[in-house]
Structure 1
Amino acid sequence: MQLALRRRLLASTVLIGASMLSTAAFAQDAQTAETEKDDTIVVTGSLIANPNLEASSPVTSIGSEEALFRNTNTAEQLLRQLPGVTPSIGSAVNNGNGGAAFVNLRGLGTNRNLVLLDGDRVTPANQGGAVDLNIIPVALIESTQILTGGASTTYGADAVSGVVNFITKRDFTGVELNLSNQITERGDGNYLRADLTMGASLDDGRGNVVFSIGYQEADPVYQGARGFSRFGISSTSGRAAGGSPTSVPSSFALTGLPQQQVSPDGASLVPAYQDFNFNPFNIFQTPFQRFNVFTQGNYEIADGVEVYGRALYSKNTVQTIIAPSGIFGEALSIPANNPFLTTGIRNQLCSAAGIAASACTPTSTTAIPIPAVYRRTVELGPRISTFVTQVFDYRAGVRVDVTDTIKADVSASYGQSENDQTQSGYVLRSRVQQALNANNVNTCTNTANGCTPLNLFGPAGSISPGAAAFLSGESQISFTTALAQVRGVVSGDFGVALPSANDAIGFAVGAEYRNYRASRVPDFLAQQPGELGGAGGAVLPLRGGYDVYEAFGEVIAPLVQDKPFFQDLTLEAGIRYSSYTVDAPSNPSFKATTWKAGGSWTPVEGLKLRGNYQRAVRAPNIGELFAPVVTGLTNLVTDPCASLDVSNPPIRRSTGPTGILRDVCLAQGAPLAGINNIQDPAAGQANGTGGGNPNIQPEKSDSYTIGVVLQPQAIPGLSVTVDYYNIVVNSAITAATPGDVIGACFNNLTAASVTSAACTSIRRNPVNGRLSGSTATTLGLPQPLTNLGRLSTNGIDLSVNYNTDLDFAKLSLSFNGNWTRSIKFRASPTGLNRECAGFYSTNCSPTSGSPQPEFSWNQRTTLSFDMVDVSLLWRHISAIQYEPGIGTLFNGAITGNTTVAGQRVNFNRIPAYNYFDLSVRFDLGDNLDVTLTALNMFDKQPPIVGSNAGATAYNSGNTFPSTYDALGRTFAATARVKF
């Protein structure tokens, strides 16, 4: 049924388009707006349509020319390089990419900003409500407008940190073909994009239709193809190839012994000596394929009555590729007569298990228990997750001129996103034990499902093709979201002005209804904890939704105009009332009121002061309410109970915990026999348990901006804007960071700690005491969602633009910079109020993920000649440091078998980075232009910080590839043909 629905939706999208067919790069000013054919201006951040009034909130705008110079293929690529935007999930995220791309304004999280298309919501991609930027039709984008700070009064919940509004080309006529290709200097990472756009005016300008179709395809870039990332480097020891203890040959956690590994000759067990280097399998650029169709139109059916509509379809395929699956610390047993057991290994396993030698012979069927087994199954190939997402989104409406100055706009829309994930290359845990129970090399004791014996003690390649086929499995997870909405707005002006002003008072009033639905349907394999080796925790079914009823109003009132020292004084205010009804047995409901107040004062021409205060509210999303509690993976570099350095085995930090520390470790489930041999979490990834919470309430945010706009008449072409912003989110819906959980227990140990909830809620691997292992038996760190968090950020945005004619050429200079003075995160009133501006760590990732530098800017210089434009973009990222107070990372010369061995590094600090991109555009006639771009033209290598300095999704390949360029110098060419 769903397939049939998708086909009907796709067919209708194409048919609508077929029937319809019978520039400054940067600016920052509240005047940036979408201009319709009747010159009515709709400012991002306000619902009032009035050609003479401006909103008080600062808006950053990126024009289509800037996107062309950058050779931007997706909206995410464009946004993540902007000052004040923290890189989120996108093409540079591999292990953690769910097939979508998001934006994160101010580092407050993707769930706290809103993505709009022509001022309207589009269907979200996940249960968190975030919109997939991959569906935005780049070829049709006229400008991208970003308003930061609370905007819930104008657009509803989620707009706590701001909105991103993509404005499409509304009156496009003619035909435009764009062909683009880029490739790295090293010959990989090829990226192809093709877009065809057609538009026409109807009935002597009474309407317009546009139809666009596009295709994109990107090849992967493997981390093994770059010298700095070919081998995983431990952030704590600086040792190369210090990757995962789940390696090959197999290793074992045995009672009372440090980690043991099969010796190189396969004859015995020796202390672990070789971790698994997973880097060469991972990628810096995810393979991506997109097919998209977009069509929209408007038509004036009578004087003052216009109908309009749009239809969007996008099919995106994203692949994430990570190192092979394996056996990750599973408790198993093996019969003494297993044909692959050597005499030496058999005797050692029996001795560790306390089995008498007489019961441990090559003919004995005695089951030898092994507390934890680690083996990387390289014979199965890499783990590949293929995400296929299909999105349909439709909107239709009518605009009516109520009077000459008042319009009514009523619209309805429906959108649906279907994401199908296929996981392949995974070991099925339930079949491993069956394959170990064998008394000859060809036959399992239990032959069900075509069982083939598993050789657990050989080198890479020792698992036979038959055993690999028997062990491997494929899993399917389907995720669907839907958004239906209806909105009515009456806006304009009252037709009267105050006696001291010239412009009439503007207003907007309206009501809105939204219905959100989301469901997740995993297959049987995905629902079993630890069944898919290396897939993290179980994925459980999810279903939920909620309804929102809202009423809102805004007013902009010019108080004084054209008077001495009062060229213009305007105030604005707005209010929105929201009522949420959640689909749950208890049928909880939320009610919230948001409001804003602001104004601008122009004392003399060329100088404007502006300010805005907003109270925003964000209700919990479907995932925060309905996601089942499961055990998955989080990040933790060091464990207070560990005496063995996992990144440098068998090096000891201590002989083992003592005193109260020892008692606490035992109370958390560490076995007495292994208390002196606990290791840090494998690969810096500890287990964590958390999920949704039906009892959470909306979070509240207060934000304000104060700024100045300068356009001095003495310097024509110059404009300067400076804005201070301050955003605070109280009762924030958050979970404690790993550092918070560890600190709450271990920072101040007393005798009471042994029985305190802060300590005993941490649950260790019952086999070896680690905080990592099978998610079926090791709950790890408790990380439930609560309303106890607090987020805050403040800083300054600076924008400078200057244009002048030099006679021989036109010069355009633009500067867009941000100073993030502070960004703080606190999970609870008793938790650490962690400062993350200018720092990186696993703790500074709950909302931001990527590092947030204190200073960042983009500066573009463009010289325009008659037929050629030459443009240079300078991107700056200030120095950042490892979070203080949680220990130090490696500082010295890298060791191990790697091309960067001997290079001196300090993983505790990343110096300031500067990138330069050069673009040249040639006008080759009235209908053709070609743009050539060299990205990272000086081929600057990204900073090396090791593999576990930050969150897994963003700290990949020994660097932060979403923040710093890991691909190296890249060349791009774009040809644009217009008729």
Structure 2
Amino acid sequence: MFKMTKISAAALIVLGASSAFAQEDSQQLEKVVVTGSMIPRTSAETTEAITVLSAKSLKDMGITTVEQALQQIASNQSTVLTASTVSTWGTGGGSFASLRGLGASRTLVLLDGQRLVANAQTGGGVDLNSIPFAAVDRIEVLREGASSVYGADAVAGVINFITKKDFKGGQMNLTGSSPQHSGGGDYSGDIAYGIGDLASDGYNLMGTLSYTKQKELRALQRGFAQRGGGDNAYYTAPASYRDSTGNLFSVDYPDCGKSSGVNTSYLNTANGYCGYQYTNATDLLPTSSVTSGMLQLTKALDADNTLKLQYFATRSKVQTWGGAYSYDVNMSPTFNSAYFPTAARSTPNTAFFSTPATATPNLNSDIDVLWTDPDNNRYQGDRATEQRFLANLTGSHGDWDYQANLNYSQNVSTVFLAGGYPDTDLLMETDPASGNQYLNRLINPFGPQTAAGQAVIDNAYKSGNLATARLRMWDVNASASRPVGDWFNAGAATLAVGVGFRGERIRSATTDLAAELSPETGYYPASVTGQRTSQALYGELNVPVTKQLEFTLSDREDHYSDFGSTNNAKAAFRFQPSKMVTFRGTASTGFRAPTLVNLYSPQVLGASTNFAGSVCDQFAGICNAQGMQVTGGNPNLKPEKSKNYDLGIVLAPLPNLGITLDYYHVTISDQITTLTTSTIYKNYNTFSNLYHPNASGSLSIAGDHSCDAGISAPTCGYILRTIQNSGGVKTSGVDISVNYTLNTSYGRFRTGLEGTWTTQYKLQAYEGAAWQSIRNDYSAGYLPVLGWQDLLTLDWSKGDWTAGISNHYQGGYKDQNGGRVGSYSIWNAYGSWKATKNVTLLAGVRNLFDTDPPFSNQTDNWQEGYNPVFADPTGRAFYAKVTVDF
């Protein structure tokens, strides 16, 4: 199942349904350009640490998306997945890779060796959903810095998706999965067809088309998602209210509306009040779909030169369900007399107040009503369209091998509402007697609605686009290489040189609907534009010193129109004292300029986490309450710098056995990031400039209307969480790979282990702060980096039959709020049968033992009871695939 033509076992680890070296006769090796270098050579000669994943083998595992594929890489620790973007503005609905846990912005994603534009909403990296998976032949992962070859942002490594080449005939794949438990499931289909043989016809034309659909999975459909998590004592159903003395009361406790017909699916009475469990009213997996197509023409111009024209387009859509909208409105005992609460129905709620509330409310004056309509459903989402046109000319002339590329790529990302967000002005009425605004008299926040009251509410709901961002990139680059002499009688040295020109432009603007609903969504009117150009000159020199030892030096000079010039170099060596042992190592520097989204994205108002730490001393009475925050770009950012060191050993002690160990160490200074709320709240004196209290000294905690007029108004209070330059990052660890193939009369058995042991991951939250470790530790306020994770695979093949099992293991870690998250071990199995010459049938089980995610008390995502970044909530799922060749 693992056929990597012309790829050497000594250099490449091939992952898929099993993890095994491609055992190829070294006499069959041809010179190719391997990810991480400009110099064509056999991969056996490369100094880089590369992992290769076969697309066919991934599909045999039931994997239908690029996101799922990259979760199989131990060195990838994604911090943003489609599942974890539920109910979160500004994520673009995307999924992003994060090699070494260093973030999507430091992981360079390429398609056929050329850049793709980043997601226009986040700007931090390429949305994996945009990659046309049906066209992919393999994925090459360079697990070390490559800034000197590809650009300054290749700090953590490079993920290069290689498309099918010279594809003839047709192939169709149909895949579907069905979870054992309700909710979730997915299906996909893809077709590829190619005509023309490059060698005999002089051309090849290939087209692909694919569609993937992920079905919704809600929190109430999985018991583990209801463990521990968050009920809201303020916004409830029936509504809670504050009287004129500021005391909080629940209505109809402990019945909480059950006998009156209120929807109690998301209510909780366990804590002494009527609470709304908002973490139950959310998606674990949102509804999503991806449609992509690609057309590629490859034309042989002559024996030595080839032109390739490639166009692809991908459209992805993620729609999330976020439960009910929370209303904060005033009611009058006279104007709203029909539904005004009574003292007999009221119970004081002391859970969130240091001073006990009085037992009897003041109902002779207006009250502040905090209400969640449990029958309301908010739907929001992101639509993204990615397009790329590439013209590639490769060939040779005399002693020179060359390639030239013209690349245009753009991403358009739109945030939209699909219902459930109200224009709250339409719910209000003016009292003729006082001139004050109160809740419409037809609406009953303390019980079930009448038809007339529900009609008023339904009329207030709006849908449509909120904001659209467009990010464009053009890139022209060329490189050439040639032998420059046998300097040490050990083989020819090779020199490569290259030049590149790139331009980027972003435009982001809100809509009229955003202006109308800005108090409800936080998207206030904004229109921003930004642009950048850059030029690069780079070179690479490979020098064999002996038959066993070679060195590679590379250097790159970049000039940015907005950040000036930077030079980044890389030195590497490869030493093979015997056929059984190879040593390799690299050292490099990096320089990452802020992205255009980092600099220019609009500022958005939203809810923050609960107040804590020293801020309680500055803003008395708001501890344990939820505040407001403003996120977005920061035009005052400066670049970050990095250093990478890698040292590895490749062992081949027995035929068909390969073992590799690669140590890495990365340091980053002036890190571009978003400070955690915990860091800001616990260090008020350090970050007092990020506090923007309103005229009343409030940070717009629950029940405060102070931001309705916009974030620039003096009545609006919040903390500023725009992107900042913080301190730095230090991380180190070891990649481990063991692969073995055994040929017997009973068939071929292949087994492999791919693991990453992170020995250190430390952050400096801001310059001058103490370094804090987040290796296996969530308690610092940052998502933890796992100390150990691995993929263990075993597959068997004989004749028309294949079968395989795999285990993905993740070690445990210290939880966000104390305690420990246990390890997570998932087994998968599959089997396939080639029924006819053209038809292959495959069936498998993901999460064979129906293992629940370990409990986590994290609150950074709307899903609670587990951590959606590290765990799949689907449970045991059965899948089947039909492959038809024609």
TM surpasses 0.5: yes
AA partner of residue 610 (structure 1): R
Tell me if 1:697 matches 2:638: yes
> Aligned partners of 1:977, 1:141: CA distance in 2, in Å?
17
- Tell me how far 1:702 sits from its aligned partner: 0.3
Q: Is the 8 A contact 2:142 2:158 kept in 1?
A: yes
> Aligned partners of 2:767, 2:506: CA distance in 1, in Å?
32
Question: 2:18 matched to which residue of 1?
Answer: none
Tell me if 1:681 matches 2:625: yes
One of 467, 476, 489 as aligned partner of 1:486:
476
State the TM-score, normalized to the length of structure 2.
0.87
Q: Is the 8 A contact 2:667 2:728 kept in 1?
A: yes
> Which one is further off, 132-141 or 720-729?
132-141
- Tell me how far 1:377 sits from its aligned partner: 2.8
> Aligned partners of 2:201, 2:718: CA distance in 1, in Å?
65
- Tell me how far 1:474 sits from its aligned partner: 2.4
1:424-452 per-residue CA deviation (whole Å, 9 max, x = no partner) reads 33444551673474899xxx9999xxx96
CA 298–360 in structure 1, closer or farther in 2 if over 3 Å, else same: closer
One of 37, 40, 52 as aligned partner of 2:31:
40
One of 575, 600, 604 as aligned partner of 1:626:
600
What is the aligned length?
A: 832
One of 853, 860, 864 as aligned partner of 1:942:
853
CA 436–43 in structure 1, closer or farther in 2 if over 3 Å, else same: farther
State the TM-score, normalized to the length of structure 1.
0.79
User: After the TM superposition, which residues 406-485 of structure 1 pair with which residues of structure 2 at under 5 Å, given as runs?
Assistant: 406-428=400-422, 430-431=424-425, 434-435=428-429, 437=431, 453=441, 455=443, 457-461=445-449, 464-476=453-465, 477-485=467-475
Tell me if 1:319 matches 2:286: no
- Tell me how far 1:589 sits from its aligned partner: 3.5
1:464-485 per-residue CA deviation (whole Å, 9 max, x = no partner) reads 2221123322241222121111
Q: Which has the higher helix share?
A: 1
AA partner of residue 480 (structure 2): V
CA 545–252 in structure 1, closer or farther in 2 if over 3 Å, else same: farther
> Aligned partners of 1:108, 1:400: CA distance in 2, in Å?
36
Q: Is the 8 A contact 1:802 1:813 kept in 2?
A: yes
Counterpart secondary structure, 1:464:
helix
CA 179–318 in structure 1, closer or farther in 2 if over 3 Å, else same: same
1:512-560 per-residue CA deviation (whole Å, 9 max, x = no partner) reads 111112222211342478522xx35647333212111111111111111
For structure 1, which runs of at least 5 residues remain unmatched after alignment? 1-22, 235-240, 353-358, 362-367, 562-567, 582-587, 643-660, 667-674, 746-752, 846-850, 890-907
Tell me if 1:560 matches 2:537: no
CA 937–544 in structure 1, closer or farther in 2 if over 3 Å, else same: same
Question: 2:108 matched to which residue of 1?
Answer: 114
> Aligned partners of 2:515, 2:227: CA distance in 1, in Å?
31
CA 707–254 in structure 1, closer or farther in 2 if over 3 Å, else same: farther
Counterpart secondary structure, 2:149:
helix
Question: 1:870 matched to which residue of 2?
Answer: 803
Question: 1:305 matched to which residue of 2?
Answer: 305
- Tell me how far 1:882 sits from its aligned partner: 2.1
CA 324–760 in structure 1, closer or farther in 2 if over 3 Å, else same: closer
> Aligned partners of 1:156, 1:529: CA distance in 2, in Å?
41
> Aligned partners of 2:316, 2:669: CA distance in 1, in Å?
36
Q: CA RMSD in A?
A: 3.4
One of 781, 785, 796 as aligned partner of 1:852:
785
Question: 2:338 matched to which residue of 1?
Answer: 340
Question: 1:739 matched to which residue of 2?
Answer: 678
- Tell me how far 1:965 sits from its aligned partner: 2.6
AA partner of residue 55 (structure 1): T
User: After the TM superposition, which residues 708-747 of structure 1 pair with which residues of structure 2 at under 5 Å, given as runs?
Assistant: 708-712=649-653, 715-745=654-684
Counterpart secondary structure, 1:182:
strand
1:365-397 per-residue CA deviation (whole Å, 9 max, x = no partner) reads xxx565x54211334x31111322222211113
AA partner of residue 688 (structure 1): Q
Question: 2:87 matched to which residue of 1?
Answer: 95
Q: Is the 8 A contact 2:738 2:754 kept in 1?
A: yes
For structure 2, which runs of at least 5 residues remain unmatched after alignment? 15-21, 258-268, 348-354, 356-361, 709-714
CA 455–931 in structure 1, closer or farther in 2 if over 3 Å, else same: same
One of 848, 860, 867 as aligned partner of 1:951:
860
Question: 1:848 matched to which residue of 2?
Answer: none
Q: Is the 8 A contact 2:811 2:822 kept in 1?
A: yes
Counterpart secondary structure, 1:86:
coil
CA 278–760 in structure 1, closer or farther in 2 if over 3 Å, else same: closer
> Aligned partners of 1:121, 1:38: CA distance in 2, in Å?
27
- Tell me how far 1:247 sits from its aligned partner: 1.5
User: After the TM superposition, which residues 237-248 of structure 1 pair with which residues of structure 2 at under 5 Å, given as runs?
Assistant: 242-243=231-232, 245-248=234-237
Question: 2:559 matched to which residue of 1?
Answer: 579
CA 25–789 in structure 1, closer or farther in 2 if over 3 Å, else same: farther
Counterpart secondary structure, 1:50:
coil
Tell me if 1:761 matches 2:691: yes
- Tell me how far 1:453 sits from its aligned partner: 4.2
1:563-615 per-residue CA deviation (whole Å, 9 max, x = no partner) reads xxxxx21101111111112xxxxxx4322111111111011112110000110
AA partner of residue 917 (structure 1): N
Q: Is the 8 A contact 2:822 2:855 kept in 1?
A: no
> Aligned partners of 2:61, 2:414: CA distance in 1, in Å?
32
Tell me if 1:541 matches 2:527: yes
- Tell me how far 1:790 sits from its aligned partner: 0.5
> Aligned partners of 1:435, 1:575: CA distance in 2, in Å?
69
Question: 2:619 matched to which residue of 1?
Answer: 665
Question: 1:648 matched to which residue of 2?
Answer: none
- Tell me how far 1:718 sits from its aligned partner: 0.4
> Aligned partners of 2:159, 2:313: CA distance in 1, in Å?
20
> Aligned partners of 1:921, 1:757: CA distance in 2, in Å?
59
AA partner of residue 914 (structure 1): S
One of 872, 877, 883 as aligned partner of 1:970:
877
Counterpart secondary structure, 2:228:
coil
Counterpart secondary structure, 1:115:
strand
- Tell me how far 1:251 sits from its aligned partner: 2.1
Tell me if 1:59 matches 2:55: no
Q: Is the 8 A contact 1:559 1:570 kept in 2?
A: yes
CA 176–492 in structure 1, closer or farther in 2 if over 3 Å, else same: farther
Question: 1:7 matched to which residue of 2?
Answer: none
AA partner of residue 142 (structure 1): D
Counterpart secondary structure, 2:874:
coil
Question: 1:790 matched to which residue of 2?
Answer: 728
> Aligned partners of 2:75, 2:826: CA distance in 1, in Å?
17
> Aligned partners of 1:806, 1:154: CA distance in 2, in Å?
44
Counterpart secondary structure, 1:531:
helix
Q: Is the 8 A contact 1:319 1:385 kept in 2?
A: yes
- Tell me how far 1:491 sits from its aligned partner: 2.1
> Aligned partners of 1:25, 1:285: CA distance in 2, in Å?
34
AA partner of residue 470 (structure 1): N
Question: 2:843 matched to which residue of 1?
Answer: 932
Counterpart secondary structure, 1:819:
strand
